[in-house]
Structure 1
Amino acid sequence: MAQKDAQRTRMATASGFIAALDQSGGSTPKALAQYGVEPADYSGDTAMYAAVHAMRSRIILADDFTAEKVLGAILFERTMDSDINGKPTAQLLWEDRGVVPFLKIDKGLADEADGVQLLKPMPELDALLEKANEKGIFGTKERSLILEANANGIAAVVAQQFDIARQVAAAGLVPIVEPEVHIDSATKAEAETILAGEIMNHLNDLPGDVDVILKLTIPTKAGLYDEAADHPRVLRVVALSGGYSTDVACDLLAGNHKMIASFSRALAEGLSVKMSDEEFNTALSANISKIYNASVA
């Protein structure tokens, strides 16, 4: 418990951001292509996941990927189950880097209905949460997607997210609730206003022993989620980059003073498998500094 208490305090109070290293399934080839590893460079899922693990390991072991600026890291299940330098990934993150480990638990998105995509069923979630605890994971993350300002759809997304959050909390882990609003939605601002209200309703219904982290698209109206950030059941409100470039995402985030970053694509922007270690560390350090500065603005 002492470890989780220290991790909770760090997540609630320390400066920095959460690195999202949890690409999976259909997003893995895109992440590898951004890194300069094309589908022709590997054959089959085993080789693909080995390539992405090598990329993630290189990021985690980079000079500036430490507790000084990085609060936490979200892992894909295969990454959690793998080692880095002979040590389980979550253990290495916390013991060697001072970074709090999280686990992506969702199985992808269901088909669109009512302007949203709910989470696919997760029948094996209890077993996964048990394994996460055994591996030293602090919290979890699951992502839904909101495509338009449909009140019924948004209500369904938030209800599903908070149902899962309660299940995660009952297992002794801290859930990251992620109802993403698509950055290209024609009704993004309206959807976010509806979402903010639904989130507050569900936060007010949480028992006093359940804390959550909210992971949200950077809102069109700066400061929209400040009320949620101040809620006693919220450890942190973090922002996803959602397809924005690193510079754009950081500029937008800097206008939201109660949000910190949890970037994926924007963190890895400009990194290449062909870089020397010195070049790689320099490029990643620049991204880390930009994201950190935007998170503490």
Structure 2
Amino acid sequence: MPKPTSRFTTYLTPAQEDELRKIANAIVAPGKGILAADESVGTMGKRLENINLPNTDENRRKYRELLFTADNVISNNVSGVILFDETFRQSTAAGVPFVKVLQDKGIIPGIKVDKGVVPLAGSLNECTTQGLDGLSERCAEYKKGGCGFAKWRCVLKISEHTPSHQAMMENANVLARYASICQQNGLVPIVEPEVLPDGDHDLETAQRVTEEVRLVYICCFRMPCSFTQTASIKKKKINRDPVSITFFLPLHLPPGITFLSGGQSEEDATINLNAINTYAGRKPWPLTFSYGRALQASVLKAWGGEDANIKAGQDELIRRAQANGAAAVGKYAGGGEGAAGGESLFVANHAY
């Protein structure tokens, strides 16, 4: 372990930092983004319910196999896939671990390591995220099992009196501790302080709150956390109006920023990502996607739980990935609508 050179030392060796930097840069490579397939058992059940499938282990496994075994062309636009713990341990019907399926395509497996949101005591219906206990051991297992990055979601809500300073500080400290633990175990941390789009507030309020959330990076500075290996900071509900693009300005810049779809329709999520990347303002980092619903809605509709429709579902996934890959470099020309079309994918108080 290197000797501390300042109060901000990361305690990482040059080789460790180099490995993390390479992973982080690969995640946000031009024209590529993340497929978020980290839905919990309960959330996956809601997805399957929409196509009249029971929420069984086998149905969840079969659906994830559909996603991960899509034609290798998917790797042209998908750099990483975020897995849920159950999915990390699953395999194809032929017995090939999903992690290996992704690695063979040149896609980096990632893993959701938080254990969900819980009420924040003393707050007005705010929350924090649990899972720090035993996190180092879990990260070590996931790294050994082939993962290269991790995800941890904290949630902030906008209302007349929230987010409170208490909630922002609590979640910023949690994210900083998570990021440091991940890096010590060789995983690039996706730092996700998610400002929910729920509410009737205006754009100026969303901008103000998002700027205040830069507390996350102040807390990271106080931890042994390397900024150059922090893969992304995520924000929601970006509007096509260029003024909205100004509402995230991280205090310290990671290698890239990946946007959530925020319950927008598939097409809107793509068009808005493209608008951000064609905006003439200064953009010193890659701006790409980490989409779950906005990459999967059409897939589920086309598949419908029928083996005969697996190829149709995979074709939808490839179509959406290609559309968003183009949007990530400002070259989406439209015409990539899938089976879900312009349907809103918004879920109030969204949970994974």
Task: Work out the percentage of aligned pairs sharing the same amino acid.
Answer: 20
Which residue of 1 is the match for residue 321 of structure 2? 288
Give, in whole Å, the separation in 1 of the partners of 2:195 and 2:30.
27
Select the residue among 248, 266, 274 that pairs with 1:225. Answer: 248
Which residue of 2 is the match for residue 163 of structure 1? 177
Report whether the alignment pairs 1:55 with 2:63. yes
Report whether the alignment pairs 1:251 with 2:271. yes
| 1:207 to partner: Cα distance | 4.9
| 1:105 to partner: Cα distance | 0.7
Give, in whole Å, the separation in 2 of the partners of 1:204 and 1:130.
23
Give, in whole Å, the separation in 1 of the partners of 2:100 and 2:23.
13
Deviates more, 1:121-130 or 1:162-171: 121-130
Q: Report if aligned partners of 1:223, 1:256 keep a CA contact under 8 Å in 2.
A: no
**Aligned residue type for 1:93:** L
Say if 1:123 and 1:277 are closer, same or farther in 2 by CA, change over 3 A.
same
Give, in whole Å, the separation in 2 of the partners of 1:19 and 1:289.
12
Say if 1:89 and 1:278 are closer, same or farther in 2 by CA, change over 3 A.
closer
**1:230-256 deviation line (CA, Å, top 9, x unaligned):** 72xx13211111221111212222233
Say if 1:146 and 1:264 are closer, same or farther in 2 by CA, change over 3 A.
same
Select the residue among 111, 130, 138 that pairs with 1:120. Answer: 130
Q: Taking structure 2 as the reference length, what is the TM-score of the superposition?
A: 0.72
Select the residue among 218, 234, 240 that pairs with 1:215. Answer: 234
Give, in whole Å, the separation in 1 of the partners of 2:106 and 2:127.
35
**Aligned residue type for 2:101:** L
| 1:138 to partner: Cα distance | 0.4
1:1-297 mapped onto 2 (5 Å cutoff): 7-34=23-50, 36-38=51-53, 41-42=54-55, 48-63=56-71, 66-84=74-92, 85-94=94-103, 96-111=104-119, 113-114=123-124, 116-148=126-158, 149-152=162-165, 153-187=167-201, 188-195=206-213, 197-202=214-219, 204-205=221-222, 207=224, 209=226, 211-213=229-231, 214-219=233-238, 221-225=244-248, 227=250, 231=253, 234-257=254-277, 258-271=286-299, 272=303, 273-274=305-306, 276-297=309-330
Give, in whole Å, the separation in 1 of the partners of 2:164 and 2:210.
10
Q: Report if aligned partners of 1:14, 1:71 keep a CA contact under 8 Å in 2.
A: no
Say if 1:135 and 1:14 are closer, same or farther in 2 by CA, change over 3 A.
farther
SS in 1 for 2:255: strand
Give, in whole Å, the separation in 2 of the partners of 1:253 and 1:139.
23
SS in 1 for 2:75: coil
Q: Report if aligned partners of 1:105, 1:141 keep a CA contact under 8 Å in 2.
A: yes
Structure that is richer in strand per residue: 1
Runs (4 or more) in structure 1 with deviation over 6 Å come to 1-5
Say if 1:200 and 1:184 are closer, same or farther in 2 by CA, change over 3 A.
same
Q: Taking structure 1 as the reference length, what is the TM-score of the superposition?
A: 0.85
Which residue of 2 is the match for residue 45 of structure 1? none
**Aligned residue type for 2:247:** L
Say if 1:31 and 1:268 are closer, same or farther in 2 by CA, change over 3 A.
same
SS in 2 for 1:142: strand
Give, in whole Å, the separation in 2 of the partners of 1:194 and 1:83.
42
**1:250-281 deviation line (CA, Å, top 9, x unaligned):** 22222333421100011111223236234223
Say if 1:225 and 1:160 are closer, same or farther in 2 by CA, change over 3 A.
same
Aligned pair count reads 284
Say if 1:206 and 1:126 are closer, same or farther in 2 by CA, change over 3 A.
closer
Consecutive unaligned residues in structure 1, runs of 5 or more:
43-47
Say if 1:209 and 1:25 are closer, same or farther in 2 by CA, change over 3 A.
same
**Aligned residue type for 1:224:** F
Structure 1 vs Structure 2 CA RMSD? 2.6
SS in 2 for 1:52: helix
Give, in whole Å, the separation in 1 of the partners of 2:128 and 2:36.
20
Deviates more, 1:73-82 or 1:204-213: 204-213
Give, in whole Å, the separation in 2 of the partners of 1:182 and 1:208.
26
Give, in whole Å, the separation in 1 of the partners of 2:321 and 2:37.
14
**1:181-215 deviation line (CA, Å, top 9, x unaligned):** 112233433322222x3234345546574521223
